[in-house]
Structure 1
Amino acid sequence: MSIGDLASRFGLATHVLRHWEDVGLLAPERDGGGRRRYGRDELVRVAIILRSQAAGMSLEQIGVLLDAEAPERHLVLEAHIADLDRRMTEMQRSREMTLHALSCRAHDVANCPGFKKGVQDMLDGDPSTLVQGLPATARRTAVLG
């Protein structure tokens, strides 16, 4: 299939596929005219890239994941599992706080003792570590103000 067909199938812009090729995630065949031709293998790779990005992996990590010869593959995957576990714990805490806020009778949940329990670990912790659990964009905002 053409680059346009593949991009369309996944709802991507063609420049995204070209970028992934530039960073080594894709290596499509070329036809006689030099046009990219994507087959089933590339289709699977794009699906893996998208699913991995949705799970929070960087393109660099995905490159290691897709490189069967990468010696650091298991280290990258173990670090990603640890990150997923940490984020799942944070999401569960956030869910519990949100459910509490929905049922809380306090007009100001920040003053609700039950709601405060959801952030007590942060209140008890080292202020320099409080932004580590945030996504990168939120960390930059929290640090930069």
Structure 2
Amino acid sequence: MKSSQQRPWSVGEVAERFDVPTNVLRHWESVGLLEPARDSAGRRRYGEDDVVRVAVVIRSKAAGMSLTQIANLLEPDMAGRHQVLQAHLDDLDRRMAEMRRSKAMTEHALRCSAHDISRCPRFRAALDDVLSGVADAFEVQWSREAAVSERP
């Protein structure tokens, strides 16, 4: 019968398995994300739980989490974990909405027959949120410049 516990993996084997450089695994260890065991010669030996943690770090980084956020996620007694995770979810929602807008704009640009896409009214409508922020910033700048020029 095959043992459910795999033999420990070296840092090189884990790096190869996940296609990450060994120095990345060492860095994650230095910031406390990983704690692989050491053999009698001091070499890192990654067990199944360590490999799962590497997968969590990789997936979390792909989702845009910082190493600090990931550390909070992996900390068993982290009191603020829910706040960190909620902030990350809010950020993901914001980025996904931005990606949906970008995708719709790109799809329109692909199908649009306008020679100059920036002059297409439907394309420009997709930029309204950005353009309104620019217009607001220019209005503030113009107001400041006008106030300065009106001084004696």
Same fold (TM over 0.5): yes
Q: Which runs of no fewer than 5 residues in structure 2 stay unpaired?
A: 1-8, 139-152
Among 5, 10, 17, which residue is 1:2 paired with? 10
Select which of 65, 73, 77 maps to 1:57. 65
Q: CA deviation at 1:119?
A: 1.0
TM-score, with structure 2 as normaliser: 0.82
Confirm whether residue 21 of structure 1 aligns to residue 35 of structure 2: no
Matches within 5 A, 1:122-133: 122-125=130-133, 126-127=136-137
Give the secondary structure class of the aligned counterpart of 2:97.
helix
For 1:107 and 1:84, how far apart are their aligned partners in 2?
35
1:98 corresponds in structure 2 to 106
- Quick one: which of 99, 115, 121 aligns to 2:123? 115
Residue of structure 2 in register with 1:32 after alignment? 40
The alpha carbon displacement at 1:120 in A equals: 0.1
TM-score, length-normalised on structure 1? 0.85
Aligned length: 128
Cα deviations by residue, 1:29-86 (Å, 9 ceiling, x for unpaired): 0011110000110111111101100110000100000002111111100000000000
Give runs of ≥4 in structure 1 deviating > 2 Å: 125-128
Residue 69, structure 1, aligned to residue 71, structure 2: no
Question: Residue type of the partner of 1:89?
Answer: A
Larger Rg: 2
